[in-house]
Chains A and B, each alone.
Chain A
């Protein structure tokens, strides 16, 4: 199979596109250098959605490694507080304090900075930009049948605002006073008073600037995604024929457009408090025996504004993963997705509920308990659409002809993680139980499993599945499976014990538990968690190696549709050029999930309906 010459023999898909496709005269005129020859325009300031997707992905991987390495460093402190960390001094410099005996320990201020940066980086840079930025860019034009995004220019800007935001955040890591250290939620007064901690000065200023740039990036991207899905679908691609990936990206973008501006306004008020001396979030504060001038502000107000984004943000992270998993499970189980419409409606229901549950992050912040009741109710209602989705994923793979490969295993792993993490959400959604559990390791375990690990599993499923479309090669399956089992077992090994810590009341974000006799017997558990975290980190390094190795040396893709999938990105050439389809744009005739229909293994979306045949998954036939 060494020969990779393009054979002149046309397959059925090519003939279908030629005979039925939509001719938009895209290739009639030359598109100029900006898309073809010039290296800078092709790979750096690219306006091709496929390249931009790769930029988002690789930048996200860079940040993923940094964020994960940070967690390993603070886990070393938690698991092995007596061991010397002097060997980290070349990397961390002044933040490793070496005592007279030559034992180096992590400076407490830097521990908080690492925890804060780990959260910020993973939530925004990796699981928002790296996940939805990558796959919305790659798949929206390819799966709806468009030449590119509605505005390739805004799309390019979206990436470069993200890049700039990353540069500012990265630079803040090297400040002599350290990066921001007041937690990724940046609650005032920690985030507003430079006297509060060393990271609250220049570190916080750069943190705010970075995140405002990030909000701009998300908005530019989101506006593009929504416009493209609404306006650039190919002929025959009705909304009810969209693959679930696109539904997920579409709704995610809408949530982002509606919630990120509120975060921006919160940051704007923080900037006013910091720079102009207003008192939106500050009131009656004494620092070092001195009363500050600020009177009349309310720190709770910030929490309302922050969590009005913060909660939808959870779904901005998890919905794309859900979309990817739905698609990957259906393709590799060789079965139609179970309950397509129920999947779409549950995405919409989750998106709606996402906006009316934010105060469940504030049960212990002094929110009126009667108002808290409403938030408990709406929070628990989210279990309903979530359960619908879980049920549908399980019924999709049930009695399927499952191909066990890296992509499908990560997709199945996602469902496992989502169930485990979702169930503990029911505990935390109750304001009464939250009195005991808030700010403990139970919360850490819950959100890491349900939106951290689960979202990563969705992302990995997507990367293994669409890698052939991105690079024309496969990733190594053996390393992929090691990656899966290492991550799956390792992630449970890290986070399962944390539930016990949390139930026992061990608080999160503490630098040391030395002074607490009640927690002394958890020392070994903390060691165990740290060892597991190190192993999981190493397995991720293996994944990154596999990724870059496979770009150059992976097994070549020899057919256009290696997975036997129905969606139209697999009707493009193995290495699609600018404009995705070399000739006409394909016309779509049916939904995306015709697997095992009428004795055929799969039927592509571009296959016309037979006489009397009705496309599934749609309401009234139109």
Chain B
């Protein structure tokens, strides 16, 4: 039985499956925050809404988060270029900055309480605490990923392999994602004031 082979290109692996899965996961996180922020809009339109200014610390926060993103991205570039020292140093820096973000976020909540906007009062305040809190939880998830990356960076012998590059990229994508998420939330809060 002679069977002619027809031409057919393979469909597989245009983008790495793990990366695709992560991006889809990010889409579902986006939907979660879309749900929370639209609840904010709907509730605000209903009246009986406490108006207040966001504490300044939320802006300092944003800069810290952006710097952390820059640090991890540079770490990635140096990882590929073969500059081991800078790669490790910047990775640690991004972790410290990320941790600082969470600490500053907590300080921001204390500042809110200090001006009388409490978690259990008017939903206007509760929404800020809860939405930024859920975001901070996602940042902690990212910090765990960076921690794993750091442990590997310091325990394994430095080598640029496809697998390690992919791992780094996954951490990188998620970290940039929580960064952009925070910038979206900040712009959202400001636009609602």
8 A Cβ contacts from A46-86 to B: none
Whether the Cβ atoms of A257 and B1 lie closer than 8 Å is no
Is A193 an interface residue, CB under 8 A from the partner? no
- Contact B29 A608, beta carbon cutoff 8 Å: no
Whether B12 contacts A232 by the Cβ 8 Å rule is yes
- Quick check: is A489 within 8 A (CB to CB) of the other chain? no
Chain B 1-24 interface mask (CB, 8 Å, partner A; 1/0): 101111011111111011011001
Q: B62 in the interface, Cβ–Cβ < 8 Å?
A: no
Select B8's contact among A16, A226, A236, beta carbons within 8 Å.
A236
Closest A residue to B133 by beta carbon equals: A272
Contact in complex: A278, B119 (CB < 8 Å): yes
Q: Complex: how many Å from CA A234 to CA B130? A: 45
**A15 CA to B42 CA in the complex, in Å?**
62
Q: Does A604 contact B (CB under 8 A)?
A: no
Q: Is the CB of B21 within 8 A of A301?
A: no
**Docked complex Cα distance between A237 and B5 (Å):** 15
The number of chain B residues with a CB under 8 A from chain A is 42
- Interface residues in A257-289 (C-beta closer than 8 Å to B): 257-262, 264-266, 268-269, 272, 276-280
A608–B1 Cα gap in the complex (Å)? 13
Q: Could you tell me the distance between the alpha carbons of A228 and B17 in the complex, rounded to whole angstroms?
A: 8
Min CB distance A466 to B, Å, is 24
Residues of A within 8 A of B148 (CB): none
- Does the CB pair B21–A261 fall under 8 Å? no
Verify A227–B42 contact, CB threshold 8 A.
no
Chain B residues with Cβ below 8 Å from A265 are 32-33, 35-36, 39, 134
A478-523 at interface with B (beta carbon < 8 Å): none
Chain A residue numbers with a CB within 8 Å of B10 are 22, 234-235
Question: In the assembly, what is the distance between CA of A98 and CA of B46, in Å?
Answer: 49
Q: Does B110 contact A (CB under 8 A)?
A: no
B48 within 8 A of A: yes
Q: Which of B9, B39, B127 contacts A304 (CB 8 A)?
A: B39
Task: Report the separation of the CA atoms of residues A269 and B130 in the bound assembly, to the nearest whole angstrom.
Answer: 8
User: Once bound together, how far apart are the Cα atoms of A230 and B16, in whole Å?
Assistant: 11
Q: Is B152 an interface residue (CB 8 A)?
A: no
Knowing A266-B35, A280-B123, say if A608 contacts B6 (CB, 8 Å): yes
Is A197 in the interface zone, CB < 8 Å from B? no
> CB-CB < 8 A to B18: which residues of A?
150-151
Residue on A nearest B34 in the bound complex, by CB:
A262
Q: Is B161 an interface residue (CB 8 A)?
A: no
How far, in Å, is A571 (CB) from chain B's closest CB? 15
| Beta-carbon contacts under 8 Å, B71-122 to A | 119-122
Chain A residues with CB under 8 A of B17: 150-151, 227-228, 231-232
A577-620 to B contact mask, C-beta < 8 Å, 1/0: 00000000001110000000000000000001100000000000
Chain A residues with CB below 8 A from B46, complex form:
298, 301
Q: Are A279 and B120 in contact (CB under 8 A)?
A: yes
Nearest Cβ on chain B to A304's Cβ, whole angstroms? 6
A238 within 8 A of B: yes
1/0 per position for A208-239, CB-CB distance to B under 8 A? 00000000000100111011101111111110
B123 pairs with A305, CB closer than 8 A: no
- Interface size class on chain A is 35 or more
User: CB-nearest residue of chain A relative to B126?
Assistant: A278
Please, what's the 1-or-0 string for B33-49, where 1 marks a CB less than 8 Å from any CB in chain A? 11110010011001010
Closest to A228 in B: B17
Interface flag for B25 (CB, 8 Å): yes
Determine the residue in chain B with the shortest Cβ distance to A150: B17
Known: A19-B3, A257-B28. A224 touches B21 (CB 8 A): yes
CB-CB contacts below 8 Å: A1-36 with B: 12, 15-16, 19-20, 22
Residues of B within 8 A of A222 (CB): 24, 28
B193 CB, nearest partner CB in chain A, Å: 18
Does A554 sit at the interface, judged by CB under 8 A? no
Assess whether A564 is interfacial by the CB under 8 Å rule.
Answer: no
Residue in A233, A261, A269, A277 whose CB lies within 8 Å of B11 = A233
A154 within 8 A of B: yes
**A235 near B48 (CB under 8 angstroms)?**
no
Q: Does A296 contact B (CB under 8 A)?
A: yes
Given contacts A223-B21, A227-B20, contact A259 B8 (CB under 8 A): no
A339 on interface, CB distance cutoff 8 Å: no
Contact of A278 among B9, B24, B25, B123 (CB under 8 A): B123
Provide the bound-state CA to CA distance between A238 and B10, in Å.
9
Check if A278 sits within 8 Å of B48, measured CB to CB: no
Q: Is B190 an interface residue (CB 8 A)?
A: no
Q: Does A110 contact B (CB under 8 A)?
A: no
Cβ contact within 8 Å between B5 and A297: no
Given contacts A219-B28, A227-B20, A279-B126, contact A301 B8 (CB under 8 A): no
Is B27's CB within 8 Å of the partner chain A? yes
B31 at interface (Cβ–Cβ under 8 A)?
Answer: yes
Whether A278 lies near B120 (C-beta < 8 A) is yes
- What 5 pairs between A and B have smallest CB-CB spacing? A262-B35, A261-B32, A265-B35, A150-B17, A236-B8
Please list 7 pairs of residues, one from A and one from B, whose beta carbons are closer than 8 Å in the complex, sorted by A's number: A19-B5, A223-B24, A228-B17, A230-B20, A257-B28, A276-B120, A296-B123
